[in-house]
Amino acid sequence: MDDNARQLLDHLCQGYDRLAQRHQTRAFPELSTAIKHPLGYCLVHCPIGSQRFAIVSLQFAPSVRGQGVLTAFIDYIQAHPHHYRGIEVATIQNLCLARRLLTLGWQYKSVLTKLFRANTPTLVHDF
């Protein structure tokens, strides 16, 4: 991972920690926001009552793609769950990422997702 990718990863991790600290008074807060950086952004969401932190959308600059930023960010969330009990990655367009997550024990969010959205699945992993 080069310096730019490392900067983006550090920014995403710090943004995640700030969100968790800001919402620590509620067990499973509702939130929908973007963690923004000049090299990309990550839109995150947590609906009311959800116990999972959801990565809804992301866009990285071409110079940092393919360097494992998202994988490292997911690993960071798993290592620092705060008050979340799982993570969700929604509408995955990168099938290599989806296959990798499935081999790591992730599951489809629902049977319908597996049947009808196999090309853009939503996968979940509980801690």
Full-model pTM: 0.86
Amino acid letter, residue 47: P
pLDDT at 36 over 70: yes
CA distances from 61 to 24, 69, 71, 75, 78 (A): 31, 11, 16, 21, 24
CA distance 10 to 5: 9
CATH H superfamily, domain 3-126: Gcn5-related N-acetyltransferase (GNAT) (3.40.630.30)
CA distance 74 to 72: 5
Residue boundaries of the structural domains of the chain: 3-126
What is the token pair recorded at 81?
A: 């769950």
pLDDT at 28 over 60: no
What is the token pair recorded at 55?
A: 């990565």
Q: CA 89, 20, 91 angle in degrees (round to 5)?
A: 10
Cβ-contact 85, 51 below 8 angstroms: yes
pLDDT 10s digits, 57-82: 999 999 999 999 999 999 999 999 98
pLDDT 10s digits, 90-118: 988 888 889 989 999 999 998 887 878 87
SS3 123: strand
Q: Give 67-106 as a 3 state SS string.
A: CCHHHHHHHHHHHCCCCCCEEEECCCCCHHHHHHHHHCCC
